[in-house]
Structure 1
Amino acid sequence: MPSLELDAFIPYRLSVTSNLVSDAIARTYDALFGLSIPEWRLVAVVAEAGEITQQAIGARTRMDKVTVSRAAIALVERGLMDRRGNPSDRRSHLLALTQAGRDLHAAIAPKALELERRLFAPFDPEEVAAFTDMLRRIEAAALALEG
């Protein structure tokens, strides 16, 4: 039976790489916009969705309820997001960006794309496409393991 070598263990490599990329992005978003990674994720998801519940954000981003809730509270307090009752489910609330939130997203999105471009510049477009496809397949396989 092969022994576990952490540096060659793919789930470990994914975690380390994800943390490195997230840390680089976090430094940029914090320095330029005063946003944490969870706050940025909420802004991005809500910008795409228009209106969305915190539960749906958690399911989409795989962030836990407490992280989503704290980020939403911070963004509402900063005037970047509105929170209102959900007419189709009175137990939940809908989040939507305010005009200030939409303006912030419009300022951040090009920076995010530039970070992505710089990160993947050493790779051929075909490699990036294959990598993206593999990440989606890994995600599907991990979801299947959940049951």
Structure 2
Amino acid sequence: MTTTPSNTENNKPYELDDHLPYRIAVISNILQLGRDIEIRKITDLGSRELRVLLNIGTYSPVSAAQIAFQTKLDSYTVSRGVKTLLNQELIEKRSLPNNKKEKLLYLTRKGKALYDQVTESLKRRDEQFASFLTEKQRQSLIKNLQKLEQQAVELLAQHALKEQDAGHELSGDQKEIIRWFNKMD
């Protein structure tokens, strides 16, 4: 049995380097907080825990569900990050006075000190990373990235909803994307 090569003249390989989501993912992989030696000198927390810590420090008080939505991490990943940060006494949970079930997350004094160190490093990294951009270009890029994020959520939610409408079972990730889509303004 012979197989047909996928690289025939009529069937050229896909130009992956021109695929925008792929390029964004590659940059994201490069910039993972856990890969940055400056961050590694400050803390041995993993990327997941750092994302959670940064969100708590920036948006506190905040719930784990809000962190999952803001970071687009699944709730299980956020839960594991919260557990690690609680065990290291970097954050604490507090109940709402009128709702004992819902817990909000806060930095502890130790967590605030780490947050301050990490964000100082992130500020330097941000300046170095985008040093070739003018302020106008930077703001335009941020605006376009926000639009791309919204578009990505909408696109993936539409795909998931189409599958759901066809009677197919959705994965947890697909259900999460639909929840994100429904929360978007």
Output the TM-score relative to the length of structure 2.
0.70
8 Å CA contact 1:26–1:37 kept in 2: the answer is no
8 Å CA contact 1:84–1:93 kept in 2: the answer is yes
- State which of 121, 135, 140 in structure 1 corresponds to 2:131: 121
Structure 1: state its 5+ residue gaps.
Answer: none
Q: Which residue of 2 aligns with 1:6?
A: 16
Q: Structure 2: which amino acid aligns with 1:62?
A: K
1:32 aligns with 2:32: no
Q: Which residue of 2 aligns with 1:104?
A: 114
Q: Which residue of 2 aligns with 1:75?
A: 85
Q: Structure 2: which amino acid aligns with 1:136?
A: Q
Deviation per residue, 1:93-117 (Å, 9 max, x gap) = 2211111111111121111100111
Whole-angstrom CA distance in 2 between matches of 1:11 and 1:43: 26
Structure with larger RCO (C-alpha < 8 A, sep 6+): 1
Q: Which residue of 2 aligns with 1:48?
A: 58
Q: Percent identity?
A: 22
Query: What is the number of equivalent residue pairs in this alignment?
Result: 147
Q: CA RMSD in A?
A: 2.3
Output the TM-score relative to the length of structure 1.
0.86
Deviation per residue, 1:35-76 (Å, 9 max, x gap) = 212211111111122221111110111011121111111111
- State which of 109, 122, 134 in structure 1 corresponds to 2:144: 134
Q: Structure 2: which amino acid aligns with 1:85?
A: S
